[in-house]
Each structure stands twice: as C-alpha cells, then as structure tokens.
Amino acid sequence: MAHGATPEAFAEAAAACEAIVPSPELAIALYSRAYAAGASDWCCERAIVLARQCGDFAAIASVASLRYAAAPAPTHLKAAAYAHVDAGEMSMAKDAVHRARTAGIECVCLAAIESAFGATHKSSSVLLRNLEARALEASTGEEKASYFLAAARVAHIAERPAERETMLLGALEAVPEEATAFAALENAWLEAREWDRLSVLYRMRSNSAATSEEKVAAYRLSGTRLILGSVRKATGLRLLQQAIAIIYQEDLESIPQLVAMLGLLTDRLELAGSGPSAIRLLGQALAHPRSDDEAMWIVNRGLWLAGDEPAFRRTVANLKMLRETLLASTPRSIAASVAAEIDGEVAKRNHHPGLSENVAERAFVAADVNVRANVSSKAGHVSGMTRDMSETGLFLACDLELKLGEDVELAVLLPGADEWSLSEHRLSGKVVRIVDGVGYGIRFASAPDGYCADIRALCPARA
C-alpha cells in the first residue's frame, strides 16, 4: 500500500484480501490500518469478526486497544483485557484488567478475573465455583454464557486447562453461536490434535445453521481453518467442496469469499498434479451467476493453470468446456476479451510434440493423504505422503529406499462417506518409477471397488 493511502483505500484492500486471498491475518491488519487512519467503526467490527473466526485473540486485544485510543470508553479496556486473557498474554491481561477496574467498571466477571491473578489453587477454585453457580442460576442464555466465559478465563489464568474446557463447553451449551467459546475450544483442540473433539465442534456449528447461507459459512470457516492450519487438509478441502456444492445446488448469490474458496481448492488440485480437474472446477463456477469481477478472476485463474499443465487431451477438453461455459454465462464484455486466449491455449496443446493419444485418463484427489507403506523386502513399514492419486496408482514420498519393480503393500486413509469420517483401503502395488530425492511412482496390481469409488467421489473432475 502506498504511503499516504486513504482510509477508504485500506478498507477496500482489506475487503479484497478477505474475498480473494485466504489470509485473515492480512485482512485484519488492513482493516486495523483503515480504522487507525480514520475509517468507520465498521472496519473495527469486521477485524474483530475475522480475528474471532481464526482464533486470533491477540488481534482482538489490539483492535480493542485501538478503539480505546480513539474513543476512551472503559468497555474497550474490558474487551482488551478479556482478549489478552483468551490469548494467554497474562502480563498484558493483568495490566488491562487493572486499568479497566481503575476506570470504574463494576463487573462481577471482571472482578473475579482480577482476583485470579496471584490467587492460590484453593482461591481460584472458590472463584470458579462461584462463577459456575451464577451461570447455573442465570435466567438467560447470554447471562449464562458470560459467567461461563469468565470462569473459563479464571481457569486459564490458574493454568487449569480441563476446567477451562468444561466452562467453555458450558458457554456453548448456553449459546450455541457463542463465537469466543467456539474459537477458544477450536484453538485448544487444533493445538492438541484432538480431531474427534474438533469434528464434533464443527458438526455442531454446521447442524445449528438455520439457512443455506449459514451452512455454507459453517463449512467454509471449518474448511479454511483446517487447510490454513495444515491440519486434516483433506477434510478441509472436502468441507469447501461441500460449501460450493450447496451454492451451486441452491443457486445462492452474493456468497462471501467464494473466490477464496475456489482459490484454495484449485491450489491444492494443482499441487496434487491435477490442473485439468482444477480447470473443470472453475468451469462449473462459471456456469452459475457471478459478478463481472468474479468471472474475470475465474477465467484468468483457469488460463494460468492451463499454462503450466502437460498437454493431456483432458486439459484440451476442459479448456474447451471452460470456453463454452464462458460464452454461455459470462457478460460479453468479459467473454470477448478472453475467448481468443483460450483458443490459443487449445491450439498450442493440439500441436504439442509430446501429446499422445494414449495418455491414460486418471482421477485425482484434491488432498494430502496419509499412507503407510509396508515393503516386504525390508520387513518393516514407514509412513509417507501421496499425491497424484488415481484408480490405478499413486506417487509416494517416503524415507525408504525402494527399487524399481519392488512390491509394496499400502494402507491408505481417504475421507469416507461423509465429511467427518475416514475409510482405510489396503492396496498392493509395484514401484514403476523413481524420482531421486522425491519419491516413487506406484502402480496398483488391482484396486478394490471401494477405493475406486472413494477416489471418484473425491475428484471434482468426475463430480
């Protein structure tokens, strides 16, 4: 951003970042800059929403401090104090709590949190029980949640993680959409790799969605967090696919961050060696009403992917499909400017010297999949990662030194019948290619029907 940029420019850049680049941290920073430069409170509110969605409590504290500097209301100090505790920044939290109390805030929850600093184990237990009792006696869900959250913060200060989780769950039970409790639990279980508990948390959010738009948002938030956190990326990608499927099935319009979801999915497809599948996914997106800006992004993304793809017949077919969809569903002002580029890409591929009529059609998976490979000649096993998975083989990266023609036994974990489950498939194969320092191409002797069905279900090109 250029020096001297206006508040509006920062806000526009933040909105564009949020819509196109799946980087909530950058969007939060830009919204904060916009507010600091004089933009409206909406920028602060949006930054806090994004920070809570990605569990960045330190950013919430920073934004609350910005608001206090601009408008010295004690409530902003209280918000900063709570966020510092949630972030585990206890020295800053203690100072912020003291300043909020000095400013005259009379609040049972804040007073309990202040007392928790330096409290003995016995004293913190008394604080926890008192807050829990108030929560149970409260007449509304919001009151219950506020007391449970205060108890969770006391437990956090006292380094009692099990009791903190219990109180956070109490807040969610009182108010299922309570975002702070959700984000705190999500952070804790992501860090601990508590996948079973995390999946229950995500399922709770999606099941509580009252509308299709809320369901899409639930899948998008869960999927994006898993992918960007490098945890269960395969499941994260399936959740994004599910979100996009709902958008298409119900012809939803004005869905936030659709382009960001498509970007994540096509990035992973490209990394998996399946650029053609990514192009097909973009073509499906063009077949539904999109804004001019979204349509242009989709087309340019498809052309960029095609530029790096090997000259497979399926790439040519998908480029042609992209062109036909473009002409049928995109404003003429955009279609006319890019149709010629697509024609050029098709012509280049049709005359590529390496093009073969016998290139096998393969179904790829947009996911990283954990694989255990048992090599009979080594009398042991090792864990590795796969890519370019198809119904006939895969590429395996592992630490073992395998020989050309060597037999291997694989146990492959793929996403199962729904977005939360995994299914295991045992496969026999042979090493048919070696890429030094990278891995091995494995061809299956035969693949079970269940494995082939899962591969087809996971591949957008066959959807």
pLDDT tens digits, one per residue of 67-106: 888 888 888 889 999 999 999 999 999 998 988 888 888 8
- At 443 the three-state DSSP class reads strand
Look at the chain and count its residues: 463
Asked whether residue 246 is assigned to any structural domain, the reply reads no
Same domain, yes or no: 74 and 134: yes
**What is the rounded CA–CA span in Å between residue 233 and residue 363?**
19
Written as one letter, the residue type at 214 is: E
Torsion, Cα 10 12 18 20, to 10 degrees, reads -120
Of 291, 367, 356, give the one whose Cα is nearest residue 330: 291
In this prediction, residue 90 carries a pLDDT of 93
In this prediction, residue 375 carries a pLDDT of 52
What is the extent of the structural domain holding 65? 7-207
Asked whether residue 240 is assigned to any structural domain, the reply reads no
Same domain, yes or no: 315 and 386: no
Asked whether residue 301 is assigned to any structural domain, the reply reads yes
Of 222, 150, 218, give the one whose Cα is nearest residue 186: 222
Q: What share of the chain is helix, strand, coil (3-state, %, to 5)?
A: 60, 10, 25
Q: Which helix (H) or strand (E) holds 410?
A: strand 407-415
Return all residues near 81 (Cβ < 8 A) that are at least 6 apart: 93, 96, 97, 99, 100, 110, 113
Same domain, yes or no: 82 and 41: yes
- At 193 the three-state DSSP class reads coil
Asked whether residue 360 is assigned to any structural domain, the reply reads no
**What is the rounded CA–CA span in Å between residue 109 and residue 419?**
39
Of 290, 323, 350, the one marking the end of a domain is: 350
Please, which pLDDT band fits residue 356 given cuts at 50, 70 and 90?
very low
Same domain, yes or no: 179 and 312: no
Q: Which two tokens stand for residue 92?
A: 């800053």
Weakest mean pLDDT among 15-19, 368-372, 387-391: 368-372
Q: How many domains does the chain have?
A: 3
Instruction: Tell me the average pLDDT of the chain.
Output: 77
**What is the rounded CA–CA span in Å between residue 141 and residue 128?**
19
> 36: which strand partners?
none
In this prediction, residue 345 carries a pLDDT of 55
The answer to whether the beta carbons of residues 34 and 43 sit under 8 Å apart is yes
Weakest mean pLDDT among 136-145, 240-249, 305-314, 399-408: 305-314
**What is the rounded CA–CA span in Å between residue 391 and residue 451?**
8
Asked whether residue 66 is assigned to any structural domain, the reply reads yes
In this prediction, residue 272 carries a pLDDT of 60
- At 384 the three-state DSSP class reads strand
Give the start-end residues of each E strand in 271-392: 369-375, 380-387
Same domain, yes or no: 193 and 65: yes
**What is the rounded CA–CA span in Å between residue 31 and residue 13?**
8
- pLDDT by residue (tens digit) across 335-352? 555 555 556 555 554 444
Asked whether residue 356 is assigned to any structural domain, the reply reads no
Of 207, 241, 271, the one marking the end of a domain is: 207
Asked whether residue 81 is assigned to any structural domain, the reply reads yes
Asked whether residue 308 is assigned to any structural domain, the reply reads yes
**What is the rounded CA–CA span in Å between residue 165 and residue 181?**
9
The answer to whether the beta carbons of residues 171 and 178 sit under 8 Å apart is yes
- At 393 the three-state DSSP class reads strand
Same domain, yes or no: 132 and 17: yes
Same domain, yes or no: 309 and 453: no
Mean pLDDT of 103-114: 88
Same domain, yes or no: 54 and 136: yes
Of 28, 20, 67, 32, give the one whose Cα is nearest residue 49: 28
- pLDDT by residue (tens digit) across 19-44? 776 678 888 888 888 888 888 888 88
Q: Does the pLDDT at position 231 exceed 80? A: no
The answer to whether the beta carbons of residues 166 and 125 sit under 8 Å apart is no
Judged on CB neighbours under 10 Å (0-12, 13-18, 19+), 120 is: exposed
CA distances (Å), origin 244, targets 81, 212, 305, 377, 441:
38, 11, 20, 45, 32
Torsion, Cα 413 416 422 424, to 10 degrees, reads -40
**What is the rounded CA–CA span in Å between residue 388 and residue 223?**
21
**What is the rounded CA–CA span in Å between residue 221 and residue 204?**
13
Based on its alpha-carbon atoms, the radius of gyration of the chain, rounded to whole angstroms, reads 26
In this prediction, residue 143 carries a pLDDT of 94
Please, which pLDDT band fits residue 367 given cuts at 50, 70 and 90?
very low
In this prediction, residue 382 carries a pLDDT of 60
Greatest C-alpha distance within the chain: 79
Is the pLDDT higher at 376 or at 11?
11
Weakest mean pLDDT among 32-36, 143-147, 400-404, 417-421: 417-421
**What is the rounded CA–CA span in Å between residue 33 and residue 52?**
18
Give the orientation angle of helix 212-228 with respect to helix 233-249, to 10 degrees: 160
Let me know the angle formed at the C-alpha of 416 by 279 and 387, rounded to the nearest 5 degrees.
45
Q: Does the pLDDT at position 298 exceed 90? A: no
Q: Which two tokens stand for residue 269?
A: 């497809």
The answer to whether the beta carbons of residues 258 and 294 sit under 8 Å apart is yes
Q: Does the pLDDT at position 389 exceed 80? A: no
Weakest mean pLDDT among 24-33, 123-132, 180-189, 453-462: 453-462
- pLDDT by residue (tens digit) across 368-377? 444 444 554 4
Which CATH number covers residue 378? 2.40.10.220
Mean pLDDT of 423-434: 83
Same domain, yes or no: 14 and 77: yes
Same domain, yes or no: 65 and 188: yes
Same domain, yes or no: 345 and 374: no
Same domain, yes or no: 57 and 200: yes
